[in-house]
Amino acid sequence: MTAAVFFGCAFIAFGPAFSLFIFTIAKDPLRVIILIAGAFFWLVSLLLSSLVWFIATKATNAQDLTLQKDLLIFGCMFSVILQEVFRFAYYRLLRKANEGLAAISEEDGPPLSVREMAYVSGLGFGIMSGAFSMINTLSDSLGPGTVGLFGDSQYYFITSGVTSIALTLLHTFWGVVFFEGCERKRWWVIAVVLCLHLMVTSLSLLNPFYVGSVPPVYAIMLLMAVWAFFSSGGSLHNITLLWTCRKSNTETSS
């Protein structure tokens, strides 16, 4: 649609990821490494699941559209399951690596806590997932035309960007919750994360009915935000502490 839409959608989609990266990841090189490795794990899971989908589509009749749609749904679900499997695999890898890192670090103990690793790996998954879903759309938004000649809504680009924010943040929160569940051996947490991920993916299949897909995804995201906050050591008491701390700061300074 032009440079304005390109930059607008790029800022919408990658704004949160960018700010999280700048303020929490960029200063610590170890976090950067874990972020990139997490993104790579997500990418490998997507590659394998798309290979499966691709073989399935090529092996069947390309003209049968309902069959292709069903294969697409199957492909999406399989991809979700594979992503969660890879998240678990990454968890195991990080736990193993943590022992080695602790041995060579100068400090007493592991340089990164499991909570930090959970957050960083979730963010890695999220950034790569958001980038993957958005880059193709962004490159086409640079041209002079907008979506709509075949009846699609012209808010396509904005909705893509907004969905991309939700996806990035959701992966981050899932990462936190998932690792915490693995630590505490609460396997039902993993099942819940998997189900929520499947639900979000199936909601995206409702597109272009944007009213039906975007608000529920945001609702799930808020729910996950709260859960991740509590599972990573936050509590209401901390929030009130923060609030009074600020108040007392402002009182003492003024």
Partner 1 sequence: MGLESSKWVIIFLVCWLYKNVSCNSVEQKIYVVLNNTVPCVRLLNATHQIGCQSSISGDTGVIHFLESEADLEWPLSKGPNPPYMVVLESSLFTRSIMMKMKNESSRVAGVAVVIPNTSPPEFSPHTTCPNENTGVYSDNYGPNLAHCNSTVWNPLGNGLSYEEFDFPVFSLNEDNETELIKQCYFDHNRAVNGSAPQYPLCAMQLFSHMHAVTNTPTCMRRNNINYSINPEMVCDPLSDNNVWGSIRPYNDTVFGHKENESVVIAAARLDSRAFFWEVSTGAEGSISGFVTLLAAAQALREVTHEAPPTRNILFAFFQGEAFDYIGSSRMVYDMEKGKFVIDLDNVHSILEIGQVAVHSGTNLFLHSDPVSRRNNTVNDEITNLVKNLQSSTAGLSFLLVEPGVSQPLPPSSLQRFLRARPIPGIVIADHKSAFNNRYYESFYDNAANLNLTYPSNLSPEEQLEFVTDTAKSLTDVATLVARALYKQAGGDESKVNTIKADPKIVTQMLYGFLVSSNNSWFQAMMSPDLQDILKPSPPQYYVGVAMSSTPTRLVQYLLANFTGAATNLTQSQCQKPDELPNESRQMYSYLWVQGIVPPNSTQRDSFCVRASVRLTRAISPAFELGEYASKDYSTWTESRWKFIKARIFLVASRDLEMLTLGVGVAVLFTFLLLTYFVSSKADVLFSSAREPASAAY
List the structure tokens of 205.
């299949």
| Options 33-41, 76-84, 197-205, 227-235: segment touching partner 1 (CB under 8 A) | 227-235
Least CB distance to partner 1 at residue 238 (A): 5
Between CA 181 and CA 253 the distance in angstroms is 42
Between CA 51 and CA 153 the distance in angstroms is 31
Counting residues that bind partner 1 (by CB under 8 A) gives: 60
**What binding mask, one character per residue, do residues 17-56 give for partner 1 by CB under 8 A, x or -?**
-xxx-xxx--------------------------x--x--
**Given the complex with partner 1, which of 173 and 194 has the nearer CB atom?**
173
Q: Does the protein bind partner 1 through residue 148 (CB under 8 A)?
A: yes
**Given the complex with partner 1, which of 11 and 74 has the nearer CB atom?**
11
Between CA 138 and CA 176 the distance in angstroms is 29
Between CA 27 and CA 21 the distance in angstroms is 9
**Given the complex with partner 1, which of 194 and 217 has the nearer CB atom?**
217
Tell me the residue type at 108: D
**Given the complex with partner 1, which of 150 and 188 has the nearer CB atom?**
150
Least CB distance to partner 1 at residue 154 (A): 5
> Do 23 and 120 touch, CB atoms closer than 8 A?
no
Least CB distance to partner 1 at residue 194 (A): 25
33-43 residues labelled b (16+ CB within 10 A) or e (exposed)? ebbebbbebbb
Between CA 179 and CA 135 the distance in angstroms is 29
Q: Does the protein bind partner 1 through residue 142 (CB under 8 A)?
A: no
> Do 96 and 110 touch, CB atoms closer than 8 A?
no
Closest CA to 50 of 70, 75, 69: 75
Q: Which residues bind partner 1 (CB under 8 A)?
A: 1-2, 4-5, 7-12, 15-16, 18-20, 22-24, 51, 54, 58, 95, 98-99, 102, 108-110, 113-116, 136-137, 140, 143-150, 152, 154, 156-158, 161, 165, 229, 232-235, 238-239, 241-242, 245
